[in-house]
Homo-oligomer: A and B are copies of this chain.
Amino acid sequence: MRVLGVDPGLTRCGVGVVEGLPGRACRLVHYEVVTSDPDTDLAYRLLNLDERLTALLAEHRPESVAVERVFSQHNVRTVMGTAQAGAVAILAAARAGLPVQMYTPSEVKAAVSGNGQADKAQVTAMVTRLLRLEVAPRPADAADALALAICHVWRGGTRDRIAAAVRRAR
């Protein structure tokens, strides 16, 4: 099962692709951070993100996409950029016909480290260990996206099958 995870952000959007099976070790396929300049036009930034994500979906052909659920406790300006980038990611996946699952940061942290309150350094360390990497994935946005993808491999199989069934029923 191949999953593409997205840690949405307008200025820095983490993307990570892993392959694996529930309960088994995952293999790293790809990671990167899609960046955009805060001084450029919003339309241009969203288009750039959409084009890059669409290209990554075509290149890596994941079976499903996991996106971090935007959280309301952040400040509103950050939330808006994150919500916009998240919408672009969800839409890119939907346009590619892929099921999308959202996870909260604590679900992801709990899945990869056993602790829903783990900090960024702990998540990065666990991702590095779980994917058996020699070097930790940097920056943290990329590690978060990989953690999302691992979380979905381990938790998402059943959900995907349900989502696919609902999709067919429509």
Residues of A that sit less than 8 Å from B by CB: 41-44, 46-47, 50, 70, 72, 76-77, 79-80, 83-88, 90-91, 93-95, 99-100, 102, 163, 166, 170
Contacts and interface: CB of A to CB of B under 8 A. Distances in A.
Contacts of A86: 84
Contact of A72 (B41, B77, B90): B77
Contacts of A90: 42-43, 46, 84
Given A70-B80, A86-B84, A87-B87, A100 B166 contact: no
Please give the count of copies of this chain that the complex contains: 2
Contact of A43 (B70, B76, B83, B93): B93
Contact of A166 (B41, B42, B70): B41
Contacts of A93: 43
Given A44-B94, A76-B79, A80-B83, 4 more contacts: A42-B100, A46-B87, A47-B95, A72-B77
A91 B88 CA distance: 8
